[in-house]
Structure 1
Amino acid sequence: MPTGQPIPVIIDCDTGVDDALALLFAVRHPGIDLRAVTCVAGNTDVDGVVRNTLTVLEIAGAADVPVARGAARPLIEPARSAQHVHGADGMGDLGLPAPTRRPADVDAVTLLRREILASPRPVTLVPTAPLTNIALLLRTHPEVTRNIERIVFMGGAVATGNATPVAEFNVWHDPEAAAVLLTAGVPITMYGLDVFERVVVPGEQVRRLRGSAEPGARLAGALLSHRPAGPGTVASADPARDADPAGGIGDAGAVCAVVDPAGITTRLLPVEVSLAPGPARGQTVVDRRARPGEAEIHEGTREQALVDVALDVDVDRFVRLYLDTVAG
């Protein structure tokens, strides 16, 4: 648990299932001052993301956190949703109520700039979505970097991808935006698939959350129980979820890493994003070699971003942290 002042945090998300888990954690952890949430197309369309974000914050008792609508599509590519994973509504088709308030009357980039520069302490920016909003912010208002402590983003993979064999969804969705992020000039932590997929809450604890009388904890249990439907179908009730409802906290792990960075093992490594068309587009190329290879010897060393790449995670530690925070 933190002993000092809460960390000012802004989350940029595409609220589906695990972004919602991240929001529930951020709202409830005493070490986080959630200053704003911005929305971008990704898991579902941007208007659905805004709706889902507002609903989750209301259920969590944080209806005063400002929310803004951002980019409806990547910088270059068309939007490509992950509704086959997150359900037709992006939230597991749980039938959640519509929000009672509207988003802020400014766009996401404007809200990001305003809240970052207004913060009395440097902000930790946590993108859990395609990085379109962040790229637009950095290119339009580079002065914000003077008040950003660190960017902890959920995205990328050292080993295996999920959108393609080598590319993770958030980076694959907008590779150019991810490449811009890496030039931010501030410390960056990459919380990628290598750790993302490992932090799983056991079924017994998920059932306990689902049975809670407290709305936020109960929502966390329902989200952790969600199972994606098969290809070409809409996510729906799955009898297996009652028998074994264990579920991963996903994006919430990146927020856990903000308040408990010792829970992940990182190495400062060169990272670049593959932008060329073809099967490697969107890959985060992480250089783990101990010494330069033939390409550098013969062609010279390219300038690459140095990123704190998460290579391992203390699963039990993050599961306890998540449950202690959300279940209260």
Structure 2
Amino acid sequence: MAIPVVLDVDTGVDDACALLLAALHPGLDLRAVTCVGGNAPVDDVVANTLTVLDAAGRPDVVVARGADRPLLEEAVDARHVHGADGMGDLDWPRSTRSPDPRHAVEVLRDVLRAAAAEVAHGADTRVTLVPLAPLTNIALLLRTYPDVAPGIREVVFMGGAAHVGNATASAEFNVFHDPEAAAVVLDACADLGIPVTMYGLDVFYEPRVGLPEADRLVAAGGRGAAELAGRLVRFQAERFGSDSATIGDAGAVCAVLDPAGVQREKLPVRVELAGTWSRGRTIVDRRDWTGDLSHDPHGQAPATIDVCLEVDADRYTRLWLETVEGGGR
């Protein structure tokens, strides 16, 4: 049976790559996409998301507008990476559709409550939440409607890192953009017994697509999913002066489809909220002993999650290419 999923996005070039995979792969049942400000302002994110789903031939997927700013911080964006429109300035035909009138948190609530009701009647239709953006919507959801927990199989989020940063020397962009939300999500999942996987920068950059493959996708033409995928890869490669580009967030979707492609370790994780140089860092406790923690004034982090540390990059690149090139469904 196809895995029920909901993506929470800030589309974004690499979110667009992830959306194409989730929309096209027959192994996933994409039930909704919720939007949050991040790579671009939230209204651009909504427009980009609708446009990608149209290219994938999935106008049936509910799209909802969510939080336009972090819980406490002022909104920032990453248009210096993703282009003025947040999606590569491709001059791609824009969708004429409108988002669902409900707020993203309401859509998440309704989808997950429906799944929980089915579970209560003996069907295992729990939904995998795949946040690929700042975790603002998910934090609001879990603290406002904790009753949705029985409808969640797991949370697989793109964010954080055990070793490196990109927004700063310490912090990855999605967590740095709203560190309070990330901290709330980790604590809420620990409270509610929701399994969590962190697909972070330690593996994020590894699955890559070369320019020859991108050109082959573009040659498909027709303003369809394959052509859009190729143009997104080419934009990234040109922006960074490279002969290839990462599929980025799409790797987290690959990890849902093919979990054996990543090596994970269960580790305690906290989010740094106060450090001058390290605010937004995911503090991953990799100490190789389990002895007395009484000397540590902080104790062990309440959230112990699966942290992705290594990835079979070629395997995930093939999965993405075969899906977007073949039209998936």
Q: Provide TM-score, normalisation by structure 2.
A: 0.92
Contact in 1 for aligned 2:35/2:104 (Cα 8 Å):
yes
How far the C-alpha of 1:54 sits from its partner, in A, is 0.5
Contact in 1 for aligned 2:270/2:301 (Cα 8 Å):
no
Aligned positions of 1:217-232 closer than 5 A? 217-227=226-236
Does 1:54 pair with 2:50? yes
Q: Find the aligned partners of 1:38 and 1:258 in 2 and give their Cα distance.
A: 18
Does 1:195 pair with 2:203? yes
Report the equivalent of 1:16.
Answer: 12
Does 1:137 pair with 2:141? yes
Q: Could you say if the C-alpha distance between residues 276 and 53 of structure 1 is closer, same or farther in structure 2, counting changes exceeding 3 Å?
A: same
Does 1:43 pair with 2:52? no
Q: Out of 99, 106, 113, which is 1:103 matched to?
A: 99
Contact in 2 for aligned 1:23/1:57 (Cα 8 Å):
yes
Does 1:87 pair with 2:87? no
Q: Find the aligned partners of 1:146 and 1:199 in 2 and give their Cα distance.
A: 33
How far the C-alpha of 1:47 sits from its partner, in A, is 0.4
Q: Provide TM-score, normalisation by structure 1.
A: 0.92
Q: How many residues are paired up?
A: 313
Unaligned 5+ residue runs, structure 1?
A: 229-236
SS in structure 2 at match of 1:182: helix
Q: Find the aligned partners of 1:101 and 1:300 in 2 and give their Cα distance.
A: 49
Q: What amino acid does structure 2 have at the position aligned with 1:197? A: Y
Q: Out of 154, 161, 171, which is 1:157 matched to?
A: 161
| Percentage of matched positions with identical amino acids | 57
Q: Out of 166, 173, 182, which is 1:169 matched to?
A: 173
Report the equivalent of 1:67.
Answer: 63
Report the equivalent of 1:206.
Answer: 214
Report the equivalent of 1:231.
Answer: none
Q: Could you say if the C-alpha distance between residues 238 and 35 of structure 1 is closer, same or farther in structure 2, counting changes exceeding 3 Å?
A: closer
Contact in 2 for aligned 1:206/1:247 (Cα 8 Å):
no
SS in structure 1 at match of 2:295: helix
Q: What amino acid does structure 1 have at the position aligned with 2:273? A: L
**Stretch of structure 1 that moved more, 178-187 or 292-301:** 292-301
**Stretch of structure 1 that moved more, 177-186 or 64-73:** 177-186
SS in structure 2 at match of 1:106: coil
How far the C-alpha of 1:240 sits from its partner, in A, is 5.5
Q: Find the aligned partners of 2:272 and 2:297 in 1 and give their Cα distance.
A: 18
Q: Find the aligned partners of 2:141 and 2:114 in 1 and give their Cα distance.
A: 15
Does 1:311 pair with 2:324? no
How far the C-alpha of 1:304 sits from its partner, in A, is 2.4
* CA deviation string 1:136-175 (max 9, x = no partner): 0001000111110000000001111000101000000000
Q: Find the aligned partners of 1:82 and 1:325 in 2 and give their Cα distance.
A: 27
Q: Find the aligned partners of 1:209 and 1:171 in 2 and give their Cα distance.
A: 32
